[in-house]
Structure 1
Amino acid sequence: MNVKARSSKAEARTQAQRERILCAAQQCFIEFGFHAAGMAKIAETAGMSPGLIYRYFENKSAIIQAIVERQLEYLREDISLNRKIDLTEEMIAGYGRAGGDDSRRLNASLLLELSAEATRDPQIAAAVLNFDEGLRHALHDWLMRSKDEGGHALPPALVPPRALILQLLFEGLRVRETRQPNLDRQLLSAALHEVIPRLLEP
């Protein structure tokens, strides 16, 4: 095996180990909260020693930052797809399903934990701010992109306020999930169909 192949294999193993830790940490944070989920609990859930985790992440704060960055990357990938989507229907279908075994979806409880932790930890606050700015930038691009490319071709002047409203809606729905997971889907559908189409048209 040549040097390049060995390096590629090592990188793949490192990435797999990091992903294993992040999935375990996300599960623990959702179940126990950031403060109750220590490195020992994360290690137990990941099926590895705490010492091994420290080879990949300096501390729990670094794990939280990595989870935030991973979620942003997932969102960017989803938004950048050159395909037409029915945003209203996707928001309705996604309500109450965030989290669980799907690490690509930001769990509502985890979002609240992140928001609370950001008020106490400057590093987490910076990561969350980067997430917010990254999401809004991706929304800007999607709203301005041509319809042939899966966008909405909105004039530049309309994009910033529309992107902000969409972001507020996304976050508001996640918070509402924690309080009212069994919200009447017909009512939710009527509300979103009233609002979303107007935000996506000039």
Structure 2
Amino acid sequence: MTQLAQPEITELSPRESAQDARRTQILDAARTCFARSGFRGASMQEICLEAKMSPGGLYRYFPSKEAIIEAIAQEERCGAAELIETMRGTGPLLDRMMSCAMGYFAYMRDPGACELMAEISAESLRNSEIGKRFAQIDDSVRDIMREVFLEAIETGEMPPNADLDATISMLQAAVDGIALRQINDPDLSLARVEPLLRRLVAGVLGMKA
């Protein structure tokens, strides 16, 4: 009997692992600085101090603050894609949407996450290049939502929608608004949000809660 070849497992070398850890250390420090001081206010020196690294060490990984922002944008893009994928799959559409929203809210409760989101939104209006980077994240989320809704309409789970784009925008505004609200209302727990958001989403989509 012929034995099938086993897939080769590639492990990171200690050097690669250390480099990844240092890169993560820098990006975590940058997120903290950007949430505290803003993209414009945070300096490379501040990021160095937060990361507990020398300027020379930091510049080996990122030659500029813009390069750090680009790396954060890429991580946000990957994270958003992974989270929004929970809307696919089996089970009632409303349950899948709630799972996605609750995962997002949980992530946004991490220290500095809401503040960084607010800074991204503000800087995207001032800086067209940053705006373009983070607009890609928004576009990818909208594309998946549109695909999921069209499938639900086709199967009869969701009634026909005359303006799907506006509906998606309304839902995004509600979810982003709740996430940002956590800054000033830390008692707005996930347990309190879920049943209210479920009814809101069901109403917007014309479904039963």
TM-score, scaled to structure 2: 0.69
Q: Matches of 1:185 and 1:170 in 2, distance apart?
A: 12
Whether 1:139 and 2:149 are equivalent positions in the alignment is no
Aligned to 1:64, what secondary structure does the other structure show? helix
Instruction: Report the equivalent of 1:44.
Output: 49
Residue 99 of structure 1 deviates from its aligned partner by 4.4
Q: Which residue identity lines up with residue 177 of structure 1 in the other structure?
A: Q
1:144 touches 1:154 (CA, 8 Å); kept in 2?
no
Which amino acid in structure 1 is aligned with residue 128 of structure 2? P
Q: Structure 2 vs 1, CA of residues 22 and 141 (structure 1 numbering), >3 Å: closer, same or farther?
A: farther
**Other-structure match for 1:160:** 165
Shift of 1:37: 2.5
Indicate the residue corresponding to 1:98 in structure 2: 108
1:15 and 1:138 mapped to 2: Cα distance?
Answer: 30
Residues 17 and 145 of structure 1, relative CA distance in 2, 3 Å threshold? farther
C-alpha deviations, 1:148-169, integer Å up to 9, x for none?
A: xxxx677686643332222111
State the aligned residue count.
190
Quote the offset at 1:138 in angstroms: 2.5
Mean alpha-carbon deviation: is it higher for 59-68 or for 12-21?
A: 12-21
* Structure 1 pair 177–6 and aligned structure 2 pair: CA distance change class (3 A): closer
CA contact (8 A) 1:25 1:63 kept: yes
Counterparts of 2:24 and 2:159, CA distance in 1: 37
User: Residues of 2 paired with 1:201 and 1:19: CA distance?
Assistant: 43
Amino acid at match of 2:110: G
AA of the residue aligned to 1:142: V
SS in structure 2 of the partner of residue 119 of structure 1? helix
- Identify the residue that residue 5 of structure 2 maps to in structure 1: none
Residues 142, 168 of structure 2: 8 Å contact kept: yes
- Residue 192 (1) aligns with residue 197 (2): yes
Q: CA RMSD in A?
A: 3.7
Asked which structure has the greater CA Rg, the reply is 2
Using structure 1 for the length normalisation, give the TM-score. 0.71
CA distance in 2, matches of 1:190, 1:56: 44
Percent identical pairs in the alignment equals 26
**What is the aligned partner in structure 1 of residue 33 from structure 2?**
28
**Given the alignment, which residue of 128, 131, 137 partners 2:134?**
128
106, 110, 116: which one aligns with 2:116: 110
Partner Cα separation in structure 2 for residue 168 and residue 7 of structure 1: 42
**Alpha-carbon distance, 1:178 to partner:** 2.8
Q: Establish whether residue 87 from structure 1 lines up as the match of residue 97 from structure 2.
A: yes
Q: Secondary structure at the match of 2:182?
A: helix
Q: Output the amino acid matched with 2:144.
A: A
Structure 1: 5+ residue stretches without partners: none
Match of 2:66 among 61, 66, 71: 61
Aligned CA distance change for structure 1 residues 67 and 27 (closer, same or farther; 3 Å): same
Return 5+ residue gaps in structure 2 as ranges.
1-8
